[in-house]
Amino acid sequence: MSATPQSAALATRAANVIPGGVNSPVRAYGAVGGTPRFVTSGSGALVTDVDGNEYVDLVASWGPALLGHAHPAVVEAVQAAAARGLGFGASVPEEAELAEEIVRRVQLVERVRLVSTGTEATMTAIRLARGATGRPLIVKFAGHYHGHSDGLLAEAGSGLATLALPGSAGVTAETAAQTLVLPYNDLPALEAAFAEHGARIAGVIAEAAACNMGVLPPEPGFTRGMIELAHRHGALVILDEVLTGFRAGPSGYWGLQSAGSTGEELPAGVAPDLVTFGKVVGGGLPLAALGGRRDLMELLAPLGPVYQAGTLSGNPLAVAAGLTTLRHADAAAYARLAGAADTLALAVSEALTAAGVAHRIGRAGTLFSVVFGDFAEAPRSYADMQRQEVLRHRAFFHAMLEGGVNLPPSAFEAWFVTAAHDDAALERIAAVLPAAAAAAARA
């Protein structure tokens, strides 16, 4: 057993002043048990805890660390920005540069508003959809997570999936009634919802590929059908790329779909109206973004009647981190990410198969997760993903951690590789897999 006395002591100390000892529930080891590690530093593919244990990291700050931890260019850019001042409440030149980089990568985006969290980005997108259409209802899909704003917590993924919560206390029935929750990958259900409520639906929000119930990409034709149905009924489509944006591929998951790499056909003109970004776009600092068609985006204040604001929006340090991350996320970096994801997904699958552990790999571009369980058919909904054998994940997780690999402490999360996961890091992971697969088999 690796020694973790200082993490254990800190967990107790933190729990005396912070609910559950964590500032975001996904960091707690609620689903897996044991001592959550307090991290003191990270470099490339590695993180070190307060007791001096080193791990190959597959959490990557839950996504932002696309280039690996403490990438020298990103650190330098943030330090240089900090030396110039932490923020001014006035625009800085680099905000437009970051917006230009987003527009360049995601062609349907004509205008960008920078915010501080993914939650704000989706919350604003929804207000914008309602403001643009004058309609009240929003459609979301079960198992998709869009942050913690009141209207979006019903049957959400991420921490709610981990903790098996159907929603959150504190959300009024009136607010919850403004969100229609439908099964994912089910166009007939969407069609029925539009037939019944069409004239009252402002928009449909979906993760570009679901990654908060484990990785479950849309079936071919689902995204297209969703966009066509919404548009036929005068509703808008908000594609949530907070997690997948600039990570599933250089232009996010939509970029892969529209380039035909997911094997589906998307006729010209079939595109979402608004897209939300977070995580990678802020390079590890609090920054997220909302983008879309010019006519919609210019409904935002100060040009239009839909209000949105933020003291720290477009903060210079966060902009520096995001811009430098995207500038270094070149074709070579994405090739390394894809290679690492391929190698790792295959190695995990082979180890589990050798140990006789039934599983499937969920995959969306460079994102993947291991879905433990005997699924006769490929999972396609949240109901399917909830049948994952979390006990096997738990045993697997702890064996990996003991062997020096830091996985997400939940079966319902994606595994995050970085461009810094080189052969040495992948070999260290591979060395632990047989023991972890055996532990999963025994669970």
Catalytic residues: 145, 240, 279
Tell me how far CA of residue 398 lies from CA of 369, 405, 406, in angstroms: 16, 9, 9
Strand 236-241, strand 201-207: pairing? parallel
Is there binding between residue 242 and ligand PMP (CB under 6 A)? yes
Q: Which is nearer to ligand PMP, 318 or 437 (CB)?
A: 318
Q: How far is the CB of 58 from ligand PMP (least distance, A)?
A: 15
Q: Which is nearer to ligand PMP, 365 or 403 (CB)?
A: 365
Is there binding between residue 119 and ligand PMP (CB under 6 A)? yes
Is there binding between residue 229 and ligand PMP (CB under 6 A)? no
Is there binding between residue 253 and ligand PMP (CB under 6 A)? no
CA angle 185, 187, 192 (to 5 degrees): 135
Is there binding between residue 143 and ligand PMP (CB under 6 A)? no
Evaluate whether 254 touches 109 at the Cβ level (below 8 Å).
no
Q: How far is the CB of 159 from ligand PMP (least distance, A)?
A: 9
Residues 163-202 that bind ligand PMP (CB under 6 A): none
> Quick one: which of 7, 117, 313, 406 contacts ligand PMP (CB under 6 A)?
117
Q: How far is the CB of 381 from ligand PMP (least distance, A)?
A: 17
How many C-alpha atoms does 124 have within 13 Å on its Cβ side? 32
Identify the residue whose tokens are 């738990």.
394
> Quick one: which of 35, 53, 61, 122 contacts ligand PMP (CB under 6 A)?
122
Is there binding between residue 118 and ligand PMP (CB under 6 A)? yes
Q: Which is nearer to ligand PMP, 149 or 178 (CB)?
A: 149
Residues 287-326 that bind ligand PMP (CB under 6 A): 288
Evaluate whether 202 touches 180 at the Cβ level (below 8 Å).
no
Q: How far is the CB of 55 from ligand PMP (least distance, A)?
A: 21
Is there binding between residue 147 and ligand PMP (CB under 6 A)? yes
> What is the pattern of x (binds ligand PMP, CB under 6 A) and - over residues 372-401?
------------------------------
> What is the pattern of x (binds ligand PMP, CB under 6 A) and - over residues 39-68?
-----------------------x------
Is there binding between residue 207 and ligand PMP (CB under 6 A)? yes
Q: Which is nearer to ligand PMP, 38 or 145 (CB)?
A: 145
Amino acid at 141: F
> Quick one: which of 138, 243, 297, 321 contacts ligand PMP (CB under 6 A)?
243
Q: How far is the CB of 276 from ligand PMP (least distance, A)?
A: 7
Q: Which is nearer to ligand PMP, 208 or 429 (CB)?
A: 208
Q: Which is nearer to ligand PMP, 66 or 432 (CB)?
A: 66
Q: What tokens appear for 409 in the block?
A: 């402490």
Residue 278 CA from chain centroid, whole number? 8
Q: How far is the CB of 123 from ligand PMP (least distance, A)?
A: 9
Residues that bind ligand PMP (CB under 6 A): 62, 117-119, 122, 145-147, 158, 207, 212, 240, 242-243, 278, 288
